[in-house]
Structure 1
Amino acid sequence: MYRIIFAALVLAFAFVPARADAGVTFKLRDAVVTSGVVSKIRIDAVDAAGKPVAVSNLQVRVDMSPDAMADMTADAKISAVNGGLVVETNIYAPGRWAVIVSGTANGKPVKVSLTVTAKRKSAEAALPPPANPQPKSGQERKILYYRNPMGLADTSPVPKKDSMGMDYIPVYADEMAKTPGAIRLTTEKMQRAGVRTTVVTRMALDKTVRATGTVAADETRQAVLSARFTGFIEKLYVSQTGDVVRAGQPLMRVWVESADLLVKSADYIGSLQSGAQDHAASAAALLRQYGVSPSELTAMAKSGVPTRSLTIVAPASGTVMEKPAVQGMHFATGDTLFKTTDLSRVWILADVSERDLAAVKKGQKAFVSFRDSPSESFEGTVLLVYPELNAATRTTKVRIAVANKNGRLRIGQYADVRIAVPGAAASALTIPASAVVDDGTRQVAFVALPGGLFEPRKLTLGARNGDSVEVRAGLKEGEHVVTSGNFLIDAESNLQSALQSFRK
């Protein structure tokens, strides 16, 4: 009697129409379906007057237990038929399921969640065909043995209690799966364990290598101005670091102290005055090596007197990074006076993990973002994979060239790097990484089969891309794999395998 009343309440609750936006009410015609077979769920979409409403851009999702199992889904498709909606789905486990329909009605988006109840067709049909059948009506279930309630590898052929007074748990013949390690769970157990599944799909899998790095100066765009003779700095035209200079721009005026330079200047003037043009040309070339400009050579040729005041110019365009030169300072041959760097292009030195090194090659495209503007991305090119591995971090430096327009990027700035590896797998069978149980020696996924059966499959994995991983062997497209609760299933599977081995 109580069962009849409860069933009536469930049906009455299931047939309550659900109101969505845009003045549309969705009425569920089929509140009870059969699990394990393809079912058609009919839904009416009507307005306040009860007239049918056309719904376009239809999408549907079928989730197990609307209040507990939001990610355990069943395959489903939806279509508009004869003024109503029809959802075709294969709900593979009994229990309450949410049918979530969304689309566009009256020019507005609509979304509604309807609840259906999936019931087993029969005790026999709930199990996979080759699995151990349930006993016939009135027939007692056969007990194989009793197992320890705490999961210890201890069994008993007769009922008993453990040291704490807990009853040993009976193991029935119809619960044992033929596949080693496979286990059978009731809907209640699946909900308590938080079991969620997803469908094995095939997709293009372009691997992306992620790393962190820092901005560094392009070594090919650095320049150093060193003294080639001794003297004093009379005047600085560029007096601070950070200034941007162009090639040939005057940096400072110096007074020449070097007797060697004065002798070479006199030799140049004497060659001109004696008409030895070839020797004068050689002397002029030597003076240019000392930093004497063509205009100053011309001035000495006209005056006939070696100059003791020279203007030193920037050897290349760039930003002044270091400036040891100070006005009035004495300098000697070899002293560094200025260091400049052209920052219109910089390097990103990324620390790439050892496991990803095989996928990174010279010439690949890279995309770099920075903490001050994470939404903005800079495109670059891989120039070099360094030949040395850091033993402490197990990473290798990868050099990436990036254009630095308007000087946005600063030396030492942290960077987030993504290196695209095209063609990692053109069309690969993929599952979420969370579906893989990896114990260090093997990779396993649990496949959800009809009747609450979960079968372990040993996997051969391939490329990874974010949260997805390629499966090269072990699964088939369209199968359902467990993505949450799989570690608990794995523990139960190992326990059953151990118990079976223990009894042999």
Structure 2
Amino acid sequence: MNTLRLLATIAVGAGLGLGGLVSIQTTPPSFRAPLAAAAADRMPLYYRDPSGAPAWSATPRKDDRGRDYLPVYDDDQAGPEPAKPKQQADSSRKILYYRNPMGLPDTSPTPKKDPMGMDYVPVYDGDEADDGVVKLSPGKIQRSGVKSTPVERRTLHVAVKAPGTVQLDERRISVIAMRTESFVQKVADVTTGTRVRAGQPLMEIYSSAIAAAAAEYLSTINSNIVGSNAAYGRGSRQRLTNLDVPEPVIAAMEKSHVAPVTVQWSAPRDGIVLERNAIEGMRANPGDVLFRIADISLVWALVDVAERDLGSIAVGQPVMIRARSFPGRTFAGAIAVIYPQVNKDTRTARVRIELANPDLALLPDMYVDAEIETAAPAPVLAVPADAVLDTGSRQAVLIDKGDGRYEPRAVKLGRHGAGYVEVRDGLSEGEAVVTSANFLIDAESNLKAALKSFAEAAEQQPANADHAGMGAHK
């Protein structure tokens, strides 16, 4: 009896672990009398819930609906239950083998039961087609939510994404440097980062060379014999131009006929002061940069595009730029230059994108992300990406052949874009492919192949056994 109680405890624990996977029917009232008679002859090990729920009791009890718990005896029988009609085999069709009722890869050449007492299901000749087609019942199709869509030709839009930085347009940078030895007399209230306008005063310069050239030029234009000195006068003016004297200063001299002591230098363009080296009283040698000014109303985005995507982009393609400093905002531009060199370390190529920057929000060296919209030159055969079963080494789709029949078919894929994938081989336009629950159908197909291989192995075992017996007899 102790052994029986130990087995009962193990059975209860196993039932709890199964979590109610096995559905048990309740005992109808017509069988309660035989159950009571059986209980009088045998001692129950425990009592189980009449609805099949994972609940047990060591003593008789009732559930919430007033139904008696069912006794379980030492032979693991819960008492007499209504007889279930057994699945009758179709005598008019040939049975190939019997498969496990729970879908496990286990077959039998003869009828049998599984450990839970369920009959193995017969598989008839004709149910297993050699073409790999899986047939599902309408109920299973409805429960699984299988959906199909026709294969169509469409234009694939593929977005090439690349990171980059904002850089200045090198054509919009101006430098103010002296061409002769000069002295900075005065500097305007302008600092690095200040926005300036074209013509805005920056500093006043005294240079002996500029003063001498200005006096020489004024002497020519003040002479009464202008005709004989015309060529000389043009040469004197050109000397001022060569010394980079601003044109407004020369025009003022011609109008006033007075040579200024100092020369005023102004901003040559609208922009931002990137560099200010001018200090009042300093001496500037020829070539010294005193101011550097850049116009950032138009900037460049230099992005690094992966080598594999270079064939999809071209000069003139539109680009959307997103700056990490301004989430949710986009800047429109276009590809201006694709640099003819690939970085051997990163396997990327530099691409220049010109961007309008009217509000000057984009600043040099900002990080940006570029999205280049590309499209195939002609529509291609494409299917939804959800229709593809990709194992890494194998790509396939499931063809909906109608009447609940589905055929797995290997395909060769091309580019991906906007939720679709190009199919280069394996499909024809108009065929229907499964886009939902295709993994369940693929699992059913794999199970079918596994069961078939087990059946073939089972059929070969008796033949091998007979051959071995004949050899031993000899």
Query: For the Cα contact (< 8 Å) 2:148–2:400, is it kept in 1?
Result: no
Match 2:166 to one of 191, 215, 219: 215
Match status 1:443 vs 2:395: yes
Whether the 8 Å contact between 2:206 and 2:261 is mirrored in structure 1 is yes
Q: Secondary structure at the match of 1:253?
A: strand
The residue identity in structure 2 corresponding to 1:229 is: T
Code of the residue aligned with 2:378 in structure 1: it is A
User: What does residue 226 of structure 1 align with?
Assistant: 177
**Equivalent residue, structure 1, for 2:147:** 197
Q: What is the identity, as a one-letter code, of the residue corresponding to 1:466?
A: A
1:409 pairs with one of 355, 362, 366: 362
In structure 2, the residue matched to 1:455 is 407
Q: Distance in 2 between matches of 1:380 and 1:335?
A: 36
Deviation at 1:468, TM superposition (A): 1.4
CA distance in 1, matches of 2:348, 2:424: 27
CA distance in 1, matches of 2:418, 2:210: 65
The answer to whether residue 320 in structure 2 is matched with residue 367 in structure 1 is: yes
* Per-residue deviation, 1:199: 0.5
Q: How many residues align?
A: 359
* Separation in 1, partners of 2:210, 2:296: 35
CA contact (8 A) 1:208 1:418 kept: no
**Residue of structure 2 in register with 1:288 after alignment:** 241
Residues of 1 paired with 2:141 and 2:421: CA distance?
25
SS where residue 378 of structure 2 aligns?
strand
Q: Which residue of 2 aligns with 1:338?
A: 291
Distance 1:237 1:139 in 2: 105
1:212–1:414: 8 Å Cα contact kept in structure 2? no
Query: What's the counterpart of residue 424 of structure 1?
Result: 377
Deviations 1:9-33 (A, max 9, x none): xxxxxxxxxxxxxxxxxxxxxxxxx
**Structure 2: distance between partners of 1:334 and 1:276:** 33
Task: Measure the CA separation in 2 of the matches of 1:439 and 1:430.
Answer: 19
2:154–2:382: 8 Å Cα contact kept in structure 1? no
- How far does the alpha carbon of each residue in 1:164-207 deviate from its partner, in whole angstroms, 9 at most, with x for none? xxxx9998755533225x44556787799x67534124364252
Q: Which residue of 2 aligns with 1:348?
A: 301
TM-score normalized by structure 2? 0.60
Three-state SS of the structure 2 residue aligned to 1:407 is coil
SS in 2 for 1:142: strand
1:9 is aligned to none
CA 1:311–1:406: 2 relative to 1, 3 Å: same
Give the AA of the match of 2:274: M
Query: What is the CA–CA distance in structure 1 between the aligned matches of 2:148 and 2:289, rounded to whole Å?
Result: 65
Change in Cα spacing, 1:346 to 1:298, as seen in structure 2 (3 Å) is closer
Matched, 1:143 2:97: yes
CA contact (8 A) 2:156 2:420 kept: no
1:367 and 1:451 map into 2 onto residues whose CA distance is 47
C-alpha distance after superposition, 1:40-70 (max 9, x if no partner): xxxxxxxxxxxxxxxxxxxxxxxxxxxxxxx
Structure 2, gaps ≥5 residues long: 1-88, 113-119, 458-474
**Which one of the candidate residues 303, 326, 349 is aligned to 1:396?**
349
The equivalent position to 2:335 in structure 1, one of 365, 373, 382, is 382
Identify the structure with the greater helix proportion.
2
Match of 1:278 among 231, 241, 247: 231
Task: State the match for 1:39 in structure 2.
Answer: none
Give the secondary structure class of the aligned counterpart of 1:333.
coil
Q: 1:422 to 1:145 in 2, by over 3 A?
A: closer
Q: Which amino acid in the other structure matches residue 243 of structure 1?
A: T
Write out aligned runs for 1:91-102 (5 A): none
What secondary structure does 2:359 align onto?
helix
User: How does 1:177-188 map onto structure 2 within 5 Å?
Assistant: 177-180=129-132, 182-184=133-135
More moved, 236-245 vs 272-281: 272-281
SS in structure 1 at match of 2:193: coil
SS in 2 for 1:229: coil
Alpha-carbon deviations, 1:77-130, whole Å to 9, x = none? xxxxxxxxxxxxxxxxxxxxxxxxxxxxxxxxxxxxxxxxxxxxxxxxxxxxxx
Q: Which has the larger radius of gyration?
A: 2
Tell me, yes or no, if the aligned pair for 2:187 and 2:202 is still in contact at 8 Å: yes
Q: Deviations over 1:257-278 (max 9, x none)?
A: xx65556556545666696332
User: What is the distance in 2 between the residues matched to 1:172 and 1:326?
Assistant: 100
Contact kept in structure 2, 1:222 and 1:342, CA below 8 Å:
yes
SS of 1:424's equivalent? Answer: coil
Distance 1:489 1:388 in 2: 48
Structure 1 residue 312 corresponds to structure 2 residue 262: no
- CA shift, 1:342, in A, is 1.9
Distance 1:224 1:488 in 2: 69
Residue identity matched to 1:142? L
Q: Is the 8 A contact 1:144 1:173 kept in 2?
A: no
Q: Is the 8 A contact 1:215 1:412 kept in 2?
A: yes
Per-residue deviation, 1:391: 4.6
Is 1:199–1:480's contact at 8 Å kept on the other side of the alignment? Answer: yes
Of 472-481 and 298-307, deviating more is 298-307
> How far apart are the structure 2 equivalents of 1:388 and 1:269?
55
AA partner of residue 465 (structure 1): G
Match of 1:8 in 2: none
TM-score (norm 1): 0.57
Q: Which has the higher contact order (CA 8 A, sep 6+)?
A: 2
Q: Contact 1:207–1:421 (CA<8 Å) still a contact in 2?
A: yes
